[in-house]
Structure 1
Amino acid sequence: MQYYLKEPALPALSYFIKNFWSFENDDPTIIEEKIIPDGYPELIFHYKDPYQINIKGHWELQANYLIAGQIRNHFHLKNTGSTGIFGIKMQPTALQELFGLEMDTYTDQVFPFSEKIKTLLQSLISIAISSNTFDNKVASIESWFEQFIQKTPFKKNAIHPLVSKIIASKGLITVNELKLEAGISERSLERRFKTAVGISGQLYIKIIRFSHIFKTVKEHSKWADVAYLCGYYDQSHFIKNFKEFTGENPSAYGFDKKTMANFFLVPPKE
């Protein structure tokens, strides 16, 4: 499998887009991949053979163009032949801000593009599934987004800066701190988070703190140190949280394996 990753070159796009990525593999051998929460929704474009997904306890064939919302647990994917996927990992509130999507309807879901979204993103689709190189696709898609943002009226969501605080703190922040920052009640905060992000602020904090484990493990070999540095009360709390999102104990998880999940949680340097 060939992996590609690139962050937006245009600073204005970083508000909406975390990164662009692609997977390519002409080997049709079936490989099952576990996908785990990382806190970001995605636009996904298949340009070779489709994938199957098991997110509800059974396998289903995926469509070619997909919106992936926030996930609260792990799920599985497997190829049906050769792999060609281009993805855009969006910032947590971006799909709501740009396209008016209510993100709680996408939670734990990977939906095909609606006809409205497919029509709106037709030029984007053409670029993503083209035979151009990864870098050329990224440059063209950045240009598309730049023009789209300039001509499309949108309102920045008030939840966006709160999400940025969670990410910057590596999940070491409380809902109470967010509530005080926003000047709203905890119930209002939760409602707004679910609409803009897809999950509650408390769960989002939990996912971001969890995601920080993967980078910390690269620098520290003792689980007690990892647990402490990632803000867990104790090692048992750390293990329970890790197993909740991956289905495995950290000692059994393959942190060094070349998998889709590890690629996203510990991206290689460009």
Structure 2
Amino acid sequence: MKFIRIAPHSSLTELIECYWMMQSDDPIPRIEKIIPDGFTELIFNYGSVYKAKINGEWELQNPNLLAGQISNYFYLENTGQTGSFAIKLKPAALTQLFNLNMDQYLDKIVNLDALPVPQLTVLKEKTLPFKGEQHLKMVLDDYFMELNKSATKNPLATTLDLIFNSNGMASVTALTAVAGVGERQLERLFKKYIGLSPKYYSRIIRFNYIFQLIKSKKSNWTEIIYQSGYYDQSHFIRNFKAFTGEDPSSYFFEEKNMANFFLNK
């Protein structure tokens, strides 16, 4: 599998985390695990579609998809050769751009073509059929820079900045202070714009930080547990298993798969 990450135009950094592509000529089915990373996505499959196992049953996916926040790991399996590209959006961007209530898309990957959002139909028409990496970046940059002109303000911008800058270790008290609202109001805003509570979203970002520490190869396990804000080894292992289904000592951090591509930024 070939993975490509593409940086968006510099004016889009508040809305877009990255564009990404994956390609493979191998039609043999392979099961991949997807792990929460705190971002939402618009996904387009110009190759074969995938099957997903999110709630215990395998379901054939549509070619064009909207993926909301995920709170737990799930599985994907290709049905043939892979050709996909996607827009990985910042946490609140789908609400800012398309006025979507993200609570409705928690732990869901839905058919993009069935959504009553005309701007998304335009996006599909502009990007398909796929014409190559450079053309894709140009089209996506132009599309989102134009759409950005009508994007609404993100009321969680400073709160999300604190979550990311603290690697998910800021307290709820600190988050409410930065947001300038009460805890209940902050919960309501997160439910609408993110789909998860501020506490749970922070857990995901803190978990993601583990991969950054391991990638740097500057810390041993004891230091990683401390630096990522876990009380002790058992607390660390419980959280790691909750998000991956695996013990950290048996997880293949260097393996070239979808999960590591998304988490090893």
Q: TM-score range by the shorter chain?
A: over 0.9
Equivalence map 1:42-191=2 (5 Å): 42-113=41-112, 114-117=114-117, 119-150=118-149, 152=150, 154-191=151-188
> TM-score, normalised on structure 1?
0.94
Question: For 1:258, what is the secondary structure of its paired residue?
Answer: coil
Question: For 2:243, what is the secondary structure of its paired residue?
Answer: helix
Question: For 2:190, what is the secondary structure of its paired residue?
Answer: helix
* Structural RMSD (CA): 1.3
| Distance in 2 (alpha carbons) for counterparts of 1:115 and 1:187 | 30
Q: Which amino acid letter does the alignment assign opposite residue 120 of structure 2?
A: L
Q: Is the deviation greater in 254-263 or in 219-228? A: 219-228
Give the equivalent residue in structure 2 for 1:236. 234
Give the equivalent residue in structure 1 for 2:2. 2
Deviations 1:171-230 (A, max 9, x none): 121111011112222111111111110100000110000001112112146321111111
| Distance in 2 (alpha carbons) for counterparts of 1:127 and 1:183 | 40
Check 1:122–1:233 CA distance in 2 against 1; reply closer, same or farther (3 A cut).
Answer: same
Answer yes or no: is the 8 Å Cα contact 1:242–1:248 preserved in 2: yes
Q: Is the deviation greater in 42-51 or in 128-137? A: 128-137
Aligned-pair distance for 1:55?
A: 0.2
Deviations 1:102-126 (A, max 9, x none): 0011000001113423x32233213
Give the equivalent residue in structure 1 for 2:213. 216
> TM-score, normalised on structure 2?
0.95
| Distance in 2 (alpha carbons) for counterparts of 1:55 and 1:108 | 8
Answer yes or no: is the 8 Å Cα contact 1:4–1:134 preserved in 2: no
The counterpart of 1:196, out of the listed 193, 213, 217, is 193
Q: Which amino acid letter does the alignment assign opposite residue 22 of structure 2?
A: F
Query: Where does structure 1 lack aligned partners over 5 or more consecutive residues?
Result: none
Give the equivalent residue in structure 2 for 1:226. 224
Question: For 2:248, what is the secondary structure of its paired residue?
Answer: coil
Query: Where does structure 2 lack aligned partners over 5 or more consecutive residues?
Result: none
Deviations 1:20-56 (A, max 9, x none): 0000111101110000000000000011110000001
Using the aligned pairs only, state the percent identity.
43
Aligned-pair distance for 1:265?
A: 0.5
Aligned-pair distance for 1:146?
A: 1.1
Answer yes or no: is the 8 Å Cα contact 1:28–1:81 preserved in 2: yes
Question: For 1:43, what is the secondary structure of its paired residue?
Answer: strand
Answer yes or no: is the 8 Å Cα contact 2:101–2:193 preserved in 1: yes
| Distance in 2 (alpha carbons) for counterparts of 1:264 and 1:115 | 26
Give the equivalent residue in structure 2 for 1:261. 259
Question: For 1:18, what is the secondary structure of its paired residue?
Answer: strand
Q: Is the deviation greater in 89-98 or in 219-228? A: 219-228
Aligned-pair distance for 1:130?
A: 2.4
